[in-house]
Structures are given as C-alpha cells and as structure tokens.
Structure 1
Amino acid sequence: MSSISDHSSDDEELNQAIMASLESNVTIAHPSTKSAQEVLLNLASQISSNQRCRFNINRSSVLDGAIRGFKRLSYNPASQMCVKFSDDLGMDEEAVDLGGPRREFLRLLMEALALSPMFEGRDSKLSLALDSTALREDRYFIAGQAIAVSLVHGGPPPGFLAPTLYSSVVVGNSSIKPVLEDIADADLYEKVKKVSECSSLDDLLHTTEPLQDYLANAGCLRPLKCIEDRDLLVQDITMFQVVHRVAGAFERFKEGLKVLGVLDAIRMHPESFRPLMCHEPTALTADLMDHLFHIRLSEVGSNKRRTEELVVPFWRDYLQDVEEQEGPSKLGKILAFATGASVVPPVGFSPQPSIDFLHEHSSSPKQRLPMANTCINCLKLPLLDTYEAFRESMDFAIGNTQGFGRE
C-alpha cells in the first residue's frame, strides 16, 4: 500500500486507509485465499526423506502394483516413495527413484484409477461406481489415498471427479442434490430422462412402467397421483443411483482422502482445489514449455556455446510445430519424457526442469538422440546440424518414451 502523505490532515482519509490495510491483512490471512499449491507444499513438509517406502511396478498393471505397495505393513504415506519399474517382460530397468519414476508412477496411477471399475461416467466427469470386489478388498480407500498421496508427493491431480462427487467430498452427502447427468448407466439415464419429460399423468404412468422393479429395489416406488409427482420421483432416483447406492464406497473413499491431511485441506479451500479435482489441468503450450525449462548453456565464447546456440532455436521451433500440428497431448509426452509427469504437478517441479546438451555423443550417429534424467528433470538435447534431423531425433525418442533414453 502506498504511504500516506505527512502533509495530509484529513482524518477520515487516514481512517479509511487504516481500515483498508486491516481488511487487506484479514483477506490475506483468510484460508480461502490460499492457493492449492501453497496448501500442498505445506502438507508436503511432513514427508520424511529419511524413511522410504518401496513400490515395485509393472506398467501394464500399475493399479495392482500400487495396491500391493499401499497395503504393505511397512507403508507410511509420510515416507519418501521409492519406485522401481520393470518392463513387460519383467526385466529390471534399474530406475531407483529420485523423483522421475515417482512422478511417472503417480501419473500412470491417476490414469488407471479413472479407468478402473470404481469410477463411472461420461466426458471425464466420473462418479463412484458400485463394485463388489473393490468393496471387499477396500480399494475405494486406496483410491482416495492414492489421490491424496499424488497431490502431496508431487504427482498430478486426478482431474476427473464429477462436480457432484467433489461437492459430496467437501460438504457431505446430506446437502447434495445430484442432477440427471450424474447417472452414468446409459440405459437408466434414457429411461429417467423420458420420465423427466412427461407432460401428463397418463404419460408418466406409462413411462415408469419399465422401471417398476428398479423403483422397488431403490425404495422409490410410490403411487403417482399427479404430474407434479414426476420431479420428486426423478430426484429420488438420481439421489439413490448417485449417492445412496454407493454410500459405503464413498465413506471409504473419503477416509482415504484424509491421508496426509488432504481432505481437511480440500474442505478448508474447496475453490482452490476444485480445478485440480474436477477439470483437466491447464493445457500445455509451446510458450509454457519454453519458460518451464531452464536452458544451461556453456561459457560465452566457447565452441560448445556456439553449437548449443544453434540447437536452441531448433528446440523452440519443435515445441511450436508440435503445438500447432499435434496439440497439448504431444507436449505432455515431451514433458513426461523429461520429468516423468505429463502435466505440471500442483506442487510444481523440484528441481526446475532444465536442458543440457549431449556434447559427448555428438560424433556418434547411433547416439545422436535426446536423453533424459527424470530424477533431476533434465532433458539432454542432441547437437544436430539441421532442424529436420533434430525433429526426427526428437520424434523417435518421444514415440518410444517407455524406458527409452532414461538415465
């Protein structure tokens, strides 16, 4: 705030300035003004680097490997995660986790959760599904725990929760009013939609006839005496299908989110966390990628510096061409190649992603390909003479990114 002039004698103006200052301080201190990154960085401070928990993961069955790791008696969510991948043949990749494998594992885990039988829905807006195996094996708790761990340990946000499910997490089921679009079962959705569009009592009675068994099992069967009963019936069906039917699963999912204090943080800062839980993260762009990576150049005037400065425009042109021709998903693959994460984690990257150059490989045609050290978020670019050769090299590496070019 600008300082108040010593020459001012206007007491009212002075009082207004003081009040504005006090209100500003109150606003800053209010929990709702904290960003999700601030909150998660604070939660991450409880992670102990002196204790490690091992996850042995095969990329073709990420969720199963994660469940084994989370269920291990020695597992502690406040311990540093140590992830070791094997390839599909079970060959050890010797990737001891210093950051990169952990980020890749958490990225694959969030993708696996969205595709699992525990969730259902359309357009990346998923609600809890009812799966007896998942209930029996307490996988809903693990799903909530996995999301909490990913957020705090530097992984990606889920980004796939339906707004109604997120609201349930924030305020509980008692205040929730699900909408028709929350019904994931396509057949049931169409039947209930027809009910909602009825304009007469006869039409309503005829339309609900195929739903009689469902209504009886759901506890929604009642005499329909007027067309006004239509809206209450639709509300009861959606409430049962979306909320009451999965109440047990939801309670375990919510318990899992309590890990590392994430559920409390979400409830204190619901609007800060909403974009992380309910929407796709901000799409990557060429400019964002360019600013994200710190380019480490050799000493000014050196021969190395001159060759590096020829390649830097190739890198930036490549990012722009990828954005224009293939979009954010390909940019995400480039980021994953370098860091293990296809989006910028809510807690950010540590260390900052960087670019080095492969001087030692410049004379070897077979090794003139980019390499990456995901543990330190470092992408190493080949020193090639033409943009066409550079692009071909990058495309080959990114297209074969699983375990390729990783140190």
Structure 2
Amino acid sequence: MYCPFCGQQQASKSAFCCSCGKDIKFLCDVDKTGTSGEATGKSTLELFQTFRSVKEKERRACFKKKKTPSKDNLKVVKISVGLMGLKDGVLKTVRGTVLPLLMRPESDADELQRAAEQKMKTFDRNVHGGPYVLLYPDGTKITNIPGTEVPFTLNEYKEAVGKAYQRITLYICTAEDFFTSSQETSSESNSSDSEVIIMSPTSAEFNAADTLVWEPADGESGTDSAAPVLFSDSQEGPGTSGGVLETACYSKYTQLYAPIVIEDKDDSDSVECSHDTPEDTEVDQQSLSEITANLALEIDHRAVSRFNICRSNIWDGAVRGFKRATFSEKKDILVKFSDDEGRFEEGLDTGGPKREFLSLLMKELNKRPIFDGPVESRYLVYNSTAIREDEYYLAGKMIAVSIVHGGPGPNFLSEDLVSYISGQSSFKASVGDITDEEIGKVLQEIQYSPSVEILQDLMIRNKNDSSVTLEEVLMFATGVPCVPCVPPARMSPLPRLQFLCSTTSTFPMANTCANILKLPLLDTYGAFKANMNFGINNSPGFGCV
C-alpha cells in the first residue's frame, strides 16, 4: 500500500502515513469482497474522473470564446435622416438638419418615416406638425426599391445602393411641399413637351416630300393655294378621312420660308423678288421701350434672386448677390434692406424696394474707380484691381439687370462714350472732361492762348531740363545718391569707369554690385550727352518709382 500524498510505501495498514503523517485510513475502508488492487484502481479512477470534470468546467468558464453577432443578425443599425424644403419651386435639402437614427434592418418605409419624424421633432423646433413624406436623396417618394417593384426595406435598399448603413441618408418633407413640387414639375413638363404623333406617309407623299407648299404673294398668279396639311393613319387618297390632325402652324411656316420666285418682265434684265418679309421691317422699327418690354417678358416671376442689402454698404451687398451661384437674370429680384446691426426692415418687396435698390446701385456704380470724369459725364478708365476682380463685367451685368427689371439706366455716362459704344463715329471731348488738375490747367492755357508767341513762352516755361545731376549719376552707378561723401563711406570696391564700344551699346550701363559705370564711346560729345541723359533719366535705380 502506498500513500497517495507522498508515494511512500506503507508496511502495515495504519491510519496515518509514516512519512508525511497525513490521514490514510480511507485506504483501509475498501470493499472486503474484492481485491485491494481492484478497489484501489476503482477509487482512483472515480477520483480522476471527478477531478477531470471539475477542471473541464473551470477551463470552459475561463476560456469561453465570446460570440460576435454577424452583420446579418444585427439588432439595430445607424443611418442618417434630414429635412427637405421647397425652395424656388424645387425640393432642396435644408442645411444642418441631418441627424443619426437607429433602426432595425428590416424596417419598412412607414416605420422609418415615423421614427425619422419623431427624431426631427425632438431635436429641431422648426419642424412643424404637418403630415410628412419619406424621400430619397433625389426627392422621390420612398415606396419601392429604385428600379424594381420590391417594397422598400432598409436592408434591401442597403444591398441595392451598395453603401454601408452609416452612409445612407434619407429625408422627410411636408406633404404640402411634396405635392406643390410634384404639381410644378408636371405643369412644366406639360407646357414644355407637346404630344408628337408620327403617321406613316403614303408613297405619293414620300415622293413629294421635298415639295414645299406655299402661298403666292398678292398680285401673282398661282395654281396652288395654301391649305391645311392633313395627317392620317389611313390616308391613301383624297377621299379618305379619319384620325385627321390639322396643323395651323404649317401654313405660317410656309409663308416665312417660301421659295423666292424670280420672273422676267418685258424681256428686261430687271428682276424682282416675289415674296417679301414684312416681319423683318417690323423688327427693325422697334423702339427702345419695346425692346426693353420684350426683355422684361422673359422674367420668371415664380423664381426669385434674393438680395440682403445693408443701407450703409450697398455695393458689397450687390456684389455678393450678383456673384451668387443661384443668381439668374431671368429670375425676379427680391430685396430686403437692413441696418448696420443686421435688423431687417419690415415689409414685403412688391416692387418698391427693388426699384429703390437699383437706383442706389446706379449711384454707387457712378463712384467706382472704373469710371473717371465729371460726375454727370463719366468715361471708362483702366484699373488693374478692377480687372482682377472682374468689375467691368459685373458693372455691365448690373446695368442690364437694372434696365430690364424696371430700374434706372446709367445716366452718368458721357454722351461721347455712349456714342462710341453704339458704333457712332462722332466724338466731341472737351477739356472739362479731364479730371487731372495739372494736365487740365495746362490744356486750358494752351486752348486760351491768344497768340503763337504766348504759346511759345508757355512751352518754354513748362519745358523740363533733361540734364542729369551728380546724385542721379551716383544712383545709377552705385545705388546710393550720396553727394557730401564721395565715394560713400565703407564702399567696397571703389567706383571705377569702363568704356563700351559702339557695337556693344550706345547708352550707359552700370553694375551696382561691382560699382562699375560703363560709358559708351561715341563720335561726338553731343551724341554722348544726349545718350547719357536719356539712359540715366529712363533707367531709375534702387528706391525710385
């Protein structure tokens, strides 16, 4: 018998181990019917199995793998919902209204609409309580999966669009806005698209397809007369009828685009046109007011371009409005004036604020640097800053919009400038149009000189001495116009002269880093002096403008 704790063999069946002293009397309590080897083996096996089961439970409890749910069995997913509103007759997304929303993947359109409506009402107080419609990002109502007849569910839409749930964004809008947008879309399509019916022509019509039916002019003989053109599915001869479509516009077309017939009279070489177009004469005889009125008819009063104008800075507000991407000359203009603190003036623009804004804009345009001259007779002048900012084009757009939309025209432009723009050759400028005081004074003295002698004295008095000074020579050669100390203190290297042959240059040259003045070799002193004066006067050095 062995001790199960220390493994020491026991000489007798004692209650305690002689080696480790532990209680081993349980080894003596064996079944008397069996052998000691069988009883010991059976007890050891049971203990081992018990020990193994306990350790197996402990291992499973400590090393059990956590199961992660698959993507198909997710309980909730996160998408985004936003708000759409009616703007300029079109449904557009409202900025800053997109919110996250947790939904089940199997949610349908009705469940998603109710959850989105509740979410928007909770976190956005601007959302009112009207009935709402769930929309796709393109503004269509959500009923089926796009391009199919499958009813909408969130997981089906996710598979069809090929995006993750986090990248899906749906929108809601009021039923009133959705109905209004649908009506405007249908009315535009009905007004712009006309029904086109294509009929199969007969062989006779096909052979005569290049023949144009037209009416002869008054006083001319003709065998054919204009008649309405009839199209029919069963058109086989003159006696058939049914399914007839009369085209009244076709006769008008034949009048405008009829062939020109030239006939001989009395065997002479003179020819005359048999068809006149009085419409062209009528167009040429339109007055300016009629042209402006016709342009005003093109304005769409159902769409507006908004202008928020501060009265203390009309120009900046106008520039922002005209440069806005949504601005269009064919839209009506809606103006709101505000003060310096941003408070808007009460009232609705029904035409008065718009005309006031256009009048103030023309006054501001008169003060812009692209114009020069007297206040009531301005000319266009060059301005590099205005060119970079595209102010010339913007001024032309403002003038055109003001005239067509009922505002004043550019009444401050010079008559000569308007004549030149309109193609007239007459140009009668006066000395008073020149705003430069010095130039204007000289021109007035020249204009009012009573005799040639006084004019010569005036020219001599204003003649500039072109001879250069020592300061200008030093500035040209060294970059320092220093006369009291020649050469300037601490100048290294010292100034020196070099000479140029006439083939290299006939004008002086300088190297201000090496302090070298290069003089040309010319035939006469007069030529040398003239070239030196011209070269130095027209070549300013450092610090000169």
TM-score in same-fold range (> 0.5):
no
Q: So what's the TM-score if we normalise by structure 1?
A: 0.41
Q: So what's the TM-score if we normalise by structure 2?
A: 0.31
Q: Give 1 or 2 for the bigger CA radius of gyration.
A: 2
**Higher relative contact order (CA closer than 8 Å, sequence separation 6+):** 1
